[in-house]
Chain A
Amino acid sequence: MDFSELFKLSGLLGRFSPDGKCLASCVQYQLIIRDVNTLQILRLYTCLDQIQYIEWSSDSLFILCAMYKRGIVQVWSLEQPDWHCKIDEGSAGLVASCWSPDGRHILNTTEFHLRITVWSLCTKSVSYIKYPKACQQGVAFTKDGRYMAVAERRDCKDFVSLFVCSNWQLLRHFDTETQDLFGIEWAPNGCVLAVWDTCLEYKILLYSLDGRLLSTYRAYEWSLGIKSIAWSPSSQFLAIGSYDEKVRILNHVTWKKITDFEHPATVVNTKTIVYKEVEKSPPVETERLSFPPSRALASSVFSTQSKYDIFQVPVSFQYIKPVADRANPKMGIGMLAFSPDNCFLATKNDNIPNAVWIWDIQKLKLFVVLEQLCAIQSFQWDPRQPRLAVCTGNSKVYLWSPAGCVSVQVPTEGELQIVSLCWHPSGNSMALLSKDNFCVCFLEREEV
């Protein structure tokens, strides 16, 4: 495992290009494009304001930078550094911006979610989508980029509109039986759309591509409902994480629950492997200490090494019960992700913030629990193989694969508190992002 040096970063905006050749990062006003292997700066663009969001186009030729305060989106081309494009929303304001799957249209969501404007880079046409829903995931594209689903709200009712992305024609428009739609997501096969309700009601609806309601699933009433969902890459399973600390798996044939995964504070199943991160302080040879202490020495003295120990079940985890009278409590399953080969599901129970639960989907059983010393910030699966990278806000990155798990200290001179990470599309490298810096970690093929 190799680590690069630290580079500056702002806003956790570090993205690999879809073709895997470049890495874009932002520092305040500037957009820096680097080559992935050498990390040399290929391009440097300056925008008009502090960049709040960047996104690569699907063909990696363009990159958009959105500045919400000014209401401007600037698009840069990689092939032609002189080419520029600026979209100014003016008084309409801007709250979100994204590419269309063909990489030639930009969808801007204006302030107050008044409308979504579709700007075209090919033609002079502009399209408007009225009454978009002000929710977290209101716009969803199918994986093949053919269709777009937009959640709308008119007259206190929720609707979903399906558009054909090639010419933005409305394909279907149907109402959903939700109280207050919270999110929509396409299945990877592009044929089923999952629509789920606000957390006050546990309801998830599954619509076919032609707008028919395939199935409704409600696990229980009254208590807080769905917190997060994830489709399996083969579209066979739909994992629903809810506030009752359970993940329910629906199957694509009957859309009925096949099992639910519980996340209790104590794990008793003997077949589960529990890895606990354990600190081990490095041996410091007192004779070698010099004054003033060199930087390397200082960091090595103060940084604690850690390793994983396998603990025997039963194991108890640190369980936190959140305050009862606050909204959006930190409980339930907040993070869900399937591995790319469909074999594993990684979940995080916000009541047990230090643990990552890895479930074996073939056996529908709990496989591994990783307990860290600090709270989990984020985890991501390697896009090619079942390898999970976890970061907990310290300068270590943790990798798990079915072969085992390892905790790696990033050898940096300064402080690096890794809050987010981002895999390269090939799975060979990883960008580790902190609030101010980032570094790139290169992995060998058969690492871990």
Chain B
Amino acid sequence: MGDWKTVTVPVLSSDSKNIFQYTSEKKISPSNMNSQVLHLPLPSSKSMHNFFSAFCTEENIEQSISYLNKELTTLGFPSIYSESKGKELDLISIVNCMNELLLLQHKNLRAQEEVEMQHLKLGSDMDHLQNCYAKLKEQLELSKREIVGLQERDRQLQSKNRNLHQLLKNEKDEVQKLQNIISSRATQYNHDMKRKEREYNKLKERLHQLVMNKKDKKIAMEVLNYVGRADGKRGAWRTDKTEARNEDQMYKILLSDYEQRQKQLLLENAELKKVLQQMKKEIISLLPPQKQKPKERSEDGPVLSDLEEDIGELNKENMWELSCETVREQLTNSIRKQWRMLKSHVEKLDNQVSRVHSEALNDKDVISREEHELETEKLELEIHQCKEIIKTQQQLLQQQLTSPCDDDTTLLLQDCYLLEERERLQEEWRLFQEQKKNFEKERRSFTEAAIRLGLERKAFEEDRGAWLKQQFLSLSTDYKHSENVTTSTSDHDNRLLNSMSQQRKPHCILSAPVSTDPCQTFQYISHN
């Protein structure tokens, strides 16, 4: 509860004005912090009257009014005195001030209420937090205890582990010790045995000496008559020759044994090779089933043709008489390949059969067996083909991938390809240019030749004309020398003929460039 304290102003006098206002200050006692509720109990009218008249009585009206004015002006309110006269009270302003003060009071009350609400809230929050705190503390305690327990268990287990390790080590040590003991005992035993044996040998030697020394008459053989040898021959002396012969004999026996074994092994080898060959042939014959499935045949065609080639080659070489590594490997590899193919084929057939069996159970969806088989074969073919395609694609991919495939390198590669092509093209271009040049040269030479020939021709024609003229002249004058003339003419004719023929040749030659020229020109046109 707050204590009210009336503010006693020293100026206060006992005025009995009815304007009362009280201000209350609150003094919060330290003992009770929680209740900050402000109560504004309105005292009863009588007490109020008494109370309110404490400030202003009839005696100190003026002072109390002036005090009020001072207070109001300091608070920022307009003065309650009227402006013109000093001691007259402005009722309007007083009323206004009162109103203002009331409003202020309301505001303050509201603020107080809010503050109280907040205070309540904070109080409940505080309670809540304290509860949480208490719970958390409990939990913390619990977990701490648990941790302690677990730590204890951990310690125990670790100690147990250590004990077991120790035991294991002990056992191992013991085993090692026992092994050492065993080995030491073994060596001891061997040593003792050797010692005893040496002693025994010494005894035997001694005994032997005694026996030999005694030259016992008793140690003898008594026989009625000596019998002949089993094989009828006479005994022979033991010489070096006989030793050598023995060695020879022994080696002969060994060799014959080895040879026999080798022969057997060769025979076995040959047989096995033959069997393998047969097997290979049979497997190959099994693999492409005959006319019913032409697709498969075409599918296996390329593969087969290779194999057949192989077989052909191998047969040609008569390989089962060769026994070198590569041939053997070839044979075994080819057999393995064939066998794998056959196996896959058989597996396919098995699947087919099982499918057929399982399908035969439900009578409704019975497809005719042949159809089914055909279907399955077709599908399998497809699968096979797809697999092949995938394989080849994979291989190509692999090839592509194995070569380092960064962007730069691919670009480089491309560049390389382009460069290559470019170079190639350049090369070709060069060649082409060369050829062009050559052709040009030739053409020029031909044209020159043609010009020359033309000139020559002209010259020749001129000569001819001149010569004919001469002839005429000579003919007309030297008719008597007909023989000479004929001969000369013949000669001349011959010469003429020769020259004609020569002419013809150049004519021919001429014709050649003439004919080629247009071709060349045509060529050039086409090029250009």
Q: Are A and B bound to each other?
A: yes
A residues sitting closer than 8 Å to B (CB atoms) are 58-59, 75, 77, 82-92, 102-104, 110, 112-115, 119, 121-126, 146-147, 155-156, 164, 167-169, 171, 189-191, 208-210, 253
Is B247 part of the binding interface, using a Cβ–Cβ cutoff of 8 Å? yes
7 A-B pairs, CB-CB below 8 angstroms? Answer: A86-B221, A86-B223, A114-B211, A122-B235, A155-B201, A169-B243, A210-B250
Encode B264-289 as 1/0 by CB contact (under 8 A) with A. Answer: 01000000000000000000000000
- If over half of A's interface residues share one DSSP class (helix, strand or loop), that class is named, otherwise mixed; here it is loop
Closest chain B residue, CB of each to CB of A212: B254
15 new A-B contacts, CB < 8 A, other than A169-B246, A171-B250, A209-B254, are A58-B230, A83-B227, A85-B222, A85-B223, A88-B218, A88-B220, A89-B219, A90-B216, A112-B207, A124-B226, A147-B250, A155-B201, A167-B246, A189-B257, A253-B265
Residues of B with C-beta under 8 A to A87: 220-222
Q: How far is the CA of A124 from the CA of B247 in the complex (A)?
A: 26
- Complex CA distance for A148 and B30, rounded to whole angstroms: 130
Q: How far is the CB of A253 from chain B (nearest CB, A)?
A: 8
- Smallest CB gap from B195: residue in A: A156
List the A residue with the shortest CB-CB distance to B211. Answer: A92
Report the Cα distance A169→B250, complex, angstroms: 12
A189 to chain B, nearest CB (A): 6
B253 at the interface (CB under 8 A from A): yes
Q: List the 10 shortest-distance A-B pairs measured between CB atoms, nearest first.
A: A90-B218, A85-B223, A90-B219, A191-B257, A90-B216, A87-B221, A102-B230, A164-B246, A86-B222, A122-B229
Q: Which residues of A have CB within 8 Å of B208?
A: 114-115
Chain B contacts of A156 at CB under 8 A?
194, 197-198
Q: Are A209 and B253 in contact (CB under 8 A)?
A: yes
| Chain B contact residues, CB within 8 Å of chain A | 194, 197-198, 201, 203-204, 207-208, 211, 214, 216, 218-231, 235-236, 238, 242-243, 246-247, 249-251, 253-254, 257, 261, 265
Q: Which residue in B198, B235, B249 is a CB contact (below 8 Å) of A123?
A: B235
Tell whether, in the assembled complex, residue A122 and residue B238 are in contact, meaning their CB atoms are under 8 Å apart: no
Let me know if A85 and B221 touch, CB within 8 A: yes
For the complex formed, measure the closest distance between the CB of A324 and the CB atoms of chain B, giving whole angstroms. Answer: 16
Taking CB atoms, residues of chain B closer than 8 Å to A115 are 208
Interface of B is mostly: helix
A121 to chain B: closest residue by CB: B227
CA distance A366 to B263 in the complex (A): 31
Q: Is the CB of B218 within 8 A of A91?
A: yes
In whole angstroms, what is the CA distance A119 to B208 when docked? 18
Chain B, residue nearest A119 (CB): B221
A85 CA / B224 CA spacing, docked (Å) = 6
A102 touches B229 (CB 8 A): yes
Contact A114 B238, beta carbon cutoff 8 Å = no
Check if A104 sits within 8 Å of B229, measured CB to CB. yes
State in angstroms the CA–CA spacing of A115 and B216 once bound together. 16
Q: How far in angstroms is the closest Cβ of chain B from A127?
A: 10
Q: Which residues of chain A come closer than 8 Å to B222, judged between CB atoms?
A: 85-88
**With A103-B230, A112-B204, A167-B238 in contact, is A91–B219 under 8 Å at CB?**
yes
Return the chain B residue nearest A112 by Cβ: B204
When C-beta atoms are compared, the residue in chain A nearest to B254 turns out to be A209
B246 close to A122 (CB less than 8 A) = no
CA gap between A210 and B254 in the complex, in Å: 8
Q: Is the CB of B230 within 8 A of A104?
A: yes
Q: Are B242 and A167 in contact (CB under 8 A)?
A: yes
CB-CB < 8 A to A147: which residues of B?
250
Could you tell me if A191 and B226 are in contact, using CB atoms closer than 8 angstroms?
no
Chain B min CB distance to A401 (Å): 28
Is the CB–CB distance between B219 and A123 below 8 Å? no
Q: Which residue of B lies closest to A144 (CB)?
A: B253
Q: A124 to B216: give the CA distance in the assembly, Å.
A: 17
Contact of B226 among A90, A113, A123, A164 (CB under 8 A): A123
With a 10 A CB-CB cut-off, give which of B201, B242, B250 has the most chain A CB atoms: B250
| A84-B231 contact, Cβ under 8 Å, with A91-B216, A167-B236, A171-B250 | no
A122 to B198, CA, bound (A): 38
Inter-chain contacts of B194 with A (CB < 8 A)? 156
Q: Smallest Cβ distance from B209 to chain A, in angstroms?
A: 10
Contact of B214 among A84, A89, A91, A126 (CB under 8 A): A91
Q: Which residues of B contact A155 (CB under 8 A)?
A: 201
Q: Which of A123, A124, A169 lies in contact with B242, CB distance below 8 A?
A: A169
Known: A112-B204, A114-B207. A102 touches B231 (CB 8 A): yes
CA A253 to CA B222, docked complex, whole Å: 49
Shortest CB-to-CB span from A134 to chain B, Å, is: 10
Task: Please give, as numbers and ranges, the residues of chain A lying within 8 Å of B250 by CB-CB distance.
Answer: 147, 164, 171, 209-210
Residues in chain A near residue B254, CB distance under 8 A: 191, 208-210
Residues of B within 8 A of A104 (CB): 227, 229-230
Tell whether A92 pairs with B224 under 8 Å between CB atoms, given A169-B243, A191-B254.
no
Give the CA-CA distance A285 to B1 in the complex, in Å: 134
| Identity of the chain A residue whose Cβ is nearest the Cβ of B208 in the assembled complex | A114
Closest residue on chain A to residue B190 by CB atoms: A179
Interface pair B219/A122, CB less than 8 Å apart:
no
Q: Flag if B204 contacts A171 (CB, 8 Å).
A: no
Nearest CB in chain B to that of A154: its residue: B201
Cα-based distance from A104 to B204 in the complex (angstroms): 29
CA distance A164 to B250 in the complex (A): 9
Contact A146 to B221, CB < 8 A, known contacts A122-B228, A156-B198: no
Distance (whole angstroms) from the CB of B245 to the closest CB of chain A = 9
Q: A371 → chain B, closest Cβ, in Å?
A: 38
* Closest chain B residue, CB of each to CB of A123: B235
In the assembled complex, which residues on chain B have CB atoms less than 8 Å from the CB atom of A92? 211, 216, 219
Give the chain A neighbours of B224 by CB distance below 8 A. 82-85
CA distance A325 to B44 in the complex (A): 124
Residue of A nearest to B214 (CB): A91
Cα(A399)–Cα(B223), bound, Å: 44
Chain A residues within 8 Å of B197, by CB: 156
Output the least CB separation between A99 and chain B (Å). 11
Name A171's contact: one of B227, B228, B246, B261 (CB within 8 Å): B246
